[in-house]
Amino acid sequence: LSRKLFLASLVLFVDPEFGSSKLERLVVAAVVSALYLAALALARPFKRSDDLHLACIANLLLTCCFVLGTAVQICEGTYEDLCYTLVGFHDARGASQFVVALTAAMLVLSVLVVLFKTFSAVRAPTIRLASTGLPPNLELPSEVHFHGFISHAWATGQDQTHTIVRQLQRLLPGVRIWLDVDNLDDVGKLEESVADAMTFLVFLSAGYFKSFNCRRELYTALGSNRPFIPIHEADVDKGGASIAALKAECRENCVETAPPAYPSYSGPDEMLARVFEEAAPIVWVRVNAFQLESLKAVALRMLLHSPYYASRLAELDAGLMVPRQPGPCAFSGPVTILACRDNEGFFRLVEEVKTAAGEGRDSTASAGAVAIRDAEEALEGASAAPLSGHVVFL
């Protein structure tokens, strides 16, 4: 507001009597605009990056207009050949035409930049708030510089954590996650790095709790009271382990007495409570749309601990979404699901499927179109009713 007020009115008080025929006002206005552009670039006062880019482009155009105005002012002077000597044009008309053409070119270039940014955003969709459709605010607490510190065992979690960080950086432009290959300069400063992050991401894979450095990071996260975001690698073939095995590993290894980073550590039960019970571990799934769901879950938990959303939790109630992500599906016709009595947990799963059947988009299917029958009775029973629709056996 102060800049607009100065350029629109206060600049007229610069040499009020003869300022309209001199360069002083244009020079002052150009300097003020250039300083404001530098302040925008350094302070980055806008929450959304596209707002910042638009403000910088607009201020750059304004600065160029003032600079080009000096050329027109010189050519309108009464000194003979001054226009040609300093600017390169024979008269003010030629200088004005040049200024108009150059201004038009800058406007076209600015429009092309905006279109390119828009096209890039469409081609590379990012995580947005489901409630507003806008990108989430990534404000950090003033005392830290990273949104998250990701802790992992090198032998069984290195590739997965690199994928998680790179994908989050793609889906959440501007997010800062501490990753060893990017940020580790001195292994002796691990504790400082953990304390410099807003959240603590724990990648749970086989051997994680056996690693001395991983335990250093865990104790530091406990001591600095960082929110834990556990991510579970469940695929044994990819270095994973069951939750039960990981808990046993934790009980066996997290037994240090008064570790330097957390002298009041009370034992494995405290570690188990923070890692496994404070929040359910997010299962890491690496296949297509399922990977996206894992990443969205990680991003949502980070945002829940953001200072910006501390008083705006309602904005996160609807969760996160990515444009053009696969939506809910539904059956296209009646379905009969045959239940095996010995299949533990089957009925709970089928009830979830039945509930979700009516939520699919562009489908007339409903929960009533899903029938659940005992497999043995349906296949071997003498008086069993005939099977109808699509039949699924689990």
Pairing type for strands 320-321 and 128-129 reads: antiparallel
Quick: pLDDT tens for 340-377.
777 777 777 777 777 776 665 444 445 557 777 777 77
**Bigger pLDDT: 47 vs 305:** 305
Q: Provide mean pLDDT across the span 245-256.
A: 96
- pLDDT over 90 at 241, yes or no: yes
- Residue tagged 């996260």 (tokens): 221
**Structure tokens of 206?**
């086989």
DSSP state of 316: G
* Secondary structure of residue 147 in the 3-state scheme: strand
pLDDT, position 23: 72
Q: Which pLDDT band holds residue 27 (cuts at 50, 70, 90)?
A: confident
Span of 61-75, 213-227, 269-283 with lowest mean pLDDT: 61-75
Quick: pLDDT tens for 183-235.
888 888 889 999 999 999 999 999 999 999 999 999 999 999 999 999 999 99
Contact status, residue 231 vs residue 202, Cβ threshold 8 Å: yes
pLDDT, position 17: 61
Stated pTM of the model = 0.63
Q: Which domains, from first to last, does the chain contain?
A: 2-123 (no CATH), 146-321 (3.40.50.10140), 335-393 (no CATH)
Span of 108-112, 293-297, 333-337 with lowest mean pLDDT: 333-337
Span of 146-160, 181-195, 250-264, 354-368 with lowest mean pLDDT: 354-368
Q: Provide mean pLDDT across the span 43-50.
A: 74
The residues near 308 (Cβ < 8 Å, ≥ 6 apart) are 137, 139
Q: Which pLDDT band holds residue 70 (cuts at 50, 70, 90)?
A: confident
- Burial (0-12, 13-18, 19+ Cβ within 10 Å), 20: exposed
* Residue 371 CB-half CA count within 13 A: 15
Span of 110-114, 161-165, 357-361 with lowest mean pLDDT: 357-361
Distances (CA, A) of 329 to 195, 289, 359, 388: 43, 13, 7, 21
The residues near 8 (Cβ < 8 Å, ≥ 6 apart) are none
Contact status, residue 56 vs residue 41, Cβ threshold 8 Å: yes
Q: Provide mean pLDDT across the span 43-52.
A: 75
- pLDDT over 50 at 89, yes or no: yes
Q: Provide mean pLDDT across the span 105-123.
A: 76
pLDDT, position 45: 81
Q: Provide mean pLDDT across the span 296-309.
A: 95
The residues near 203 (Cβ < 8 Å, ≥ 6 apart) are 150, 151, 152, 153, 157, 160, 161, 164, 231, 233, 284
Span of 49-58, 74-83, 192-201, 282-291 with lowest mean pLDDT: 74-83
pLDDT, position 362: 47
To the nearest whole number, what is the mean pLDDT of the chain?
Answer: 83
Question: Percent of the chain scored above 70 by pLDDT?
Answer: 82
Distances (CA, A) of 117 to 51, 232, 269: 12, 36, 50
Q: 369-382 burial, b for 16+ CB within 10 Å, e for fewer? A: bbbebebeebeeee
Q: Which pLDDT band holds residue 384 (cuts at 50, 70, 90)?
A: low
User: What's 225-287 look like in SS3?
Assistant: CCCEEEEECCCHHHCCCCHHHHHHHHHHHCCCCCCCCCCCCCCHHHHHHHHHHCCCCEECCCC
Phi/psi for 288 (5° steps) reads 40, -120
